Amino acid sequence: MHWTEPATADDSHAALEKKLWDAANMLWAGADLKPSEYSPTVLGLIFLRYADVRFAAVEKDLKPQAGSRRKIGATDYHAAGVIYLPENARFAELLALPEGANTGQSINDAMRAIEKENPDLADVLPKTYHILDSRTLAELLKVMASIPMDKGGDTFGLIYEYFLGKFAMTEGQKGGEFYTPTSIVKLIVEILEPYHGRILDPACGSGGMFIQSARFVEEHRKNPTTDISVHGQERVTDTSRLARLNLAVHGLNGDIKQGNTYYEDLQDSVGRFDFVLANPPFNVSKIDKERLSGDPRYPFGIPRTDNGNYLWIQHFHSALNRTGRAGFVMANSAADARASEQEIREKIIRAGDVDVMVAIGPNFFFTVTLPCTLWFFDKGKSKIHNQQSSIGNRKDTVLFIDARHIYRQLDRAHRDFTPAQLEFLANLVRFHRGEDLEFAHGSEGKWEETFGDAAGYTDVPGLCKAATLAEIEAQGWSLNPGRYVGVAKGEDLSDEDFKEQLEALNEELEVLNTEARELEERIAENVVELLETR
């Protein structure tokens, strides 16, 4: 199915975000610094402005009653759900610093004072403002002060996310380590439907999965601070700080731990979570598999190939409780991987927990142009006995969706989904599950064009196919949507499709060559052992 949209005009939020970015970008353009060096300082100022607006709003309500001798302090602000700001950390105080003052040192001191009064922020806030000159910092403070005081917390969250995305794009490959494009995260969240429960992201980056989960809860008239709890792990120390800061700007609490997820399960994850959302690093090699021996996160076995994809996939699966759901981004090659990885995939499929597979086209990520696949597990699905799809019981099927030709073209090198496209794709899954459809973002026309007045789920060539386990077994346990969805009537294979297929075949050839080399080494070792024993 082909559904493409051009870039649209900015809305009021986006206009404000772009204005702030453009103004800030001009200031650090002359600084001899890498984006990774100045980005924490800028994100820290967005946080400080957010905290100051929240503090000022509560301050009016906490003014002591006439005649009262009790001093208002940090505990009062914490009880009201806001970050306490000491006098030297107020935005107005920093703006009023005289010309010639050491602005960088003053902001560093302000951040230390905030951490001292708010233990939850210990070792989170940036304290490297001395790397920027005082004039630039003074102008940056003015830029952030231009955010109107009447803007709600969600506006600051959107500004923070916008800057995160821009920094990710600017920093290239390093940026891709901490940031997943918002439209990809939104699609995962809409399909998982994390209304209530414990959420895990063991490769949490800057925490985008948590933010969109909270936004989903809010949009469905629930309270994310009471209905969900978020738990993450991140290998890179600075990135784990970014995640905690991101949560703070969105008014959320979370348990973010720093450590290497391959070797340390700091969240004690096995069987504990209602939802797992993640975008792990793809195709990581040189993992010390001896250190993984006996780890309960990998119940289907350690893959023999030098690739971490199926370690992540098993980790996500094992972290779920009996009815848990997982949604994650994965390299296309994992859906067709052979040898020991195929054996692991077969075991997961036979367990009945693979729910949905979505093929995403190229150019959605800032750092790589390659397409990817979204995987979804649902352990509760295997316990369903009466929920019917068009071909039988849903627990015995996997829904495959080909969304490679559904996108909005932002510029020559970048794509995302429109709200209507996101809604349409999520509705495909709801339709298959037998849930109510949602039409709040304008996808109803495209839905009627595709499904007419169908009362229940039906396969659509070129778009979606609910495949049985027998059909999947016949395809060598492949979870590649292209193997099942096919091509819409009257459509030929496009140049882009041909290129993707060629890349996929080349990827598969590389995997087979690697496996062949490993097999040759094992044969040679066996021959040596045989000769030595004779």
Rounded CA separation 149/54 (Å): 9
Q: Would you say 317 and 353 are in contact if contact means Cβ atoms under 8 Å apart?
A: yes
Residue 524, SS3 per DSSP = helix
394 lies in a domain?
yes
pLDDT tens per residue, range 361-382: 999 987 677 899 999 999 998 6
Instruction: Read off the pLDDT of each residue in 452-465 and give the average, rounded to a whole number.
Output: 95
Lowest-confidence region among 125-129, 146-150, 465-469, 508-512: 508-512
pLDDT tens per residue, range 212-221: 999 999 998 8
8 lies in a domain?
no
Q: Are residues 365 and 466 in the same domain?
A: yes
- State yes or no: pLDDT of 460 exceeds 70: yes
| Mean pLDDT of the residues in the chain | 88
Rounded CA separation 519/529 (Å): 15
Instruction: Read off the pLDDT of each residue in 394-415 and give the average, rounded to a whole number.
Output: 91
Among the three residues 112, 140, 162, which one is the final residue of a domain in this structure?
Answer: 162
- State yes or no: pLDDT of 328 exceeds 80: yes
Q: Are residues 24 and 143 in the same domain?
A: yes
Lowest-confidence region among 119-123, 148-152, 406-410, 420-424: 148-152
Instruction: Read off the pLDDT of each residue in 159-187 and give the average, rounded to a whole number.
Output: 78
pLDDT at 81: 83
Lowest-confidence region among 30-39, 86-95, 387-396, 471-480: 387-396
Q: pLDDT > 70: what percent of the chain?
A: 88
pLDDT at 330: 97
121 lies in a domain?
yes
492 lies in a domain?
no
Instruction: Read off the pLDDT of each residue in 425-440 and give the average, rounded to a whole number.
Output: 96
Q: Are residues 313 and 338 in the same domain?
A: yes
CATH classification of the domain holding 152: 1.20.1260.30
- Which of the two residues, 392 and 394, has the higher pLDDT score? 394
**Cα 422–Cα 166–Cα 35 angle in degrees, nearest 5:** 150
> Domain range spanning residue 518?
498-534
Rg (CA), the chain: 25
H helix runs in 179-329, sequence order = 182-192, 208-219, 224-227, 237-249, 309-318
Please give the full DSSP string across 186-230, using - where no structure is assigned: HHHHHHH---SEEEEETT-TTSHHHHHHHHHHHHTT--HHHHEEE
Q: pLDDT > 90: what percent of the chain?
A: 60
Instruction: Read off the pLDDT of each residue in 476-482 and give the average, rounded to a whole number.
Output: 96
- State yes or no: pLDDT of 37 exceeds 50: yes
527 lies in a domain?
yes
399 lies in a domain?
yes
Q: Are residues 185 and 284 in the same domain?
A: yes
Q: Are residues 42 and 78 in the same domain?
A: yes
Q: How many independent structural domains does the chain possess?
A: 3
Q: Are residues 474 and 511 in the same domain?
A: no
* Confidence tier at 175 by pLDDT (50, 70, 90): very low
Among the three residues 162, 183, 215, which one is the final residue of a domain in this structure?
Answer: 162
Q: Phi, psi (5° rounding) for residue 34? A: -80, 150
Q: Are residues 67 and 101 in the same domain?
A: yes
304 lies in a domain?
yes
Q: Are residues 333 and 260 in the same domain?
A: yes
Q: Are residues 191 and 325 in the same domain?
A: yes
Q: Are residues 77 and 135 in the same domain?
A: yes
pLDDT tens per residue, range 191-220: 999 999 999 999 999 899 999 999 999 998
- Which of the two residues, 248 and 266, has the higher pLDDT score? 266
52 lies in a domain?
yes
Q: Would you say 43 and 163 are in contact if contact means Cβ atoms under 8 Å apart?
A: yes
Q: Are residues 157 and 176 in the same domain?
A: no
Rounded CA separation 153/150 (Å): 10
pLDDT at 20: 85
pLDDT at 153: 56
* Amino acid identity, position 304: R
pLDDT at 384: 60
pLDDT tens per residue, range 61-115: 887 654 566 788 888 888 888 899 999 999 999 999 998 999 999 999 999 999 9
- State yes or no: pLDDT of 511 exceeds 90: no
Nearest to residue 40, comparing CAs of 104, 142, 169, 126?
A: 126
The neighbour count for residue 472, using CB atoms within 10 Å, is 22
Q: Are residues 228 and 85 in the same domain?
A: no
Among the three residues 162, 190, 223, which one is the final residue of a domain in this structure?
Answer: 162
Edge-to-edge strand ranges of the sheet holding 406-411: 3-6, 406-411, 414-416
Instruction: Read off the pLDDT of each residue in 270-291 and give the average, rounded to a whole number.
Output: 95
Please give the full DSSP string across 406-420, using - where no structure is assigned: EEEEEETTEEE--HH
**Cα 327–Cα 201–Cα 283 angle in degrees, nearest 5:** 75
